[in-house]
Structure 1
Amino acid sequence: MQAKELARLIKTGKAPCIVDVRSRGEFASGHIAGAVHLPLWAVLLRSSGLPADKDAPLVVLCEMGPRAELAQSLLGLKGRRRSELLDGHMSGWRRAGLPLVK
């Protein structure tokens, strides 16, 4: 999903569940409004913050991409098949000048 499309969906209240798999420090330094913080190490251990409906759409992101790709695969193993990656991840979100929550 493109960053500007996600920002538009957030503004309209129709955003999918945003899953940020970065570390606690990275998340605290700035994240997308409404994002669920689920560090990569915790993806297989817990589902807190994720929709109960396993068919709910998810957008997964990290700083540059590799952790999000792994998290997307792990979420798929847990039956969450409707996930996509945020194009450009957080670095792309910042480059686009989109808002962050601190």
Structure 2
Amino acid sequence: MRPLELADKIDQGQSPVVVDVRTGFEYRSGHIPGAISAPIWKILLRLAPLPRDRNVELVVLCELGPRAWMGKILLGFLGFRTITLLEGHMAGWRRAKLPLAM
């Protein structure tokens, strides 16, 4: 999913669940509004605050991409069916000058 497409969905109240797999420090330094913080280690230990509904649409991101791919695979193993990656990840979101929450 492209950053502008996600921003439009957020604005329209039709946002998928945005899963930020960066570290807690990275998340607190600025994240997509409404995103949940779910670092890879928390997903592995099943400590991340993930939705119960495994059919919900997830958009996964990290800073540049590698951790998001790992997150996508792990979330698939946990039974989530609709998982996409944010194109450009947080770096792309910032390049597009889209809003950040702190």
TM-score normalised by length of structure 1: 0.96
Report the alpha carbon displacement of residue 81 of structure 1 after superposing the two structures with TM. 1.9
Q: 1 CA distance for matches of 2:6 and 2:47? A: 22
Equivalent residue number for residue 96 of structure 1: 96
The 3-state SS of whatever aligns with 1:87 is: coil
Deviations 1:5-38 (A, max 9, x none): 0000000110000000000110010000000000
Q: How far off is 1:48 after superposition? A: 4.3
Show the counterpart of 1:38: 38
Q: Distance in 2 between matches of 1:3 and 1:25?
A: 22
Q: 5 Å matches for 1:52-71?
A: 52-71=52-71
Percent of residue pairs identical: 53
The equivalent of 1:10 in structure 2 is: 10
Contact 2:20/2:35 (CA < 8 Å) preserved in 1?
A: yes
In 2: Cα distance, 1:21 partner to 1:88 partner: 14
- Alpha carbons 1:3, 1:92 under 8 Å: kept: yes
**TM-score of the pair, normalised by structure 2:** 0.96
Query: 2:79 — aligned with what?
Result: 79
- CA–CA distance in structure 1, aligned partners of residues 48 and 22 of structure 2: 16
By how many angstroms is 1:49 displaced? 2.9
Ranges of 4+ aligned residues in structure 1 off by more than 3 Å: none
Alignment length (residue pairs)? 102
Question: Deviation of residue 51 (structure 1)?
Answer: 1.9
**RMSD of the TM alignment (CA)?**
1.0
What is the identity, as a one-letter code, of the residue corresponding to 1:84? Answer: T
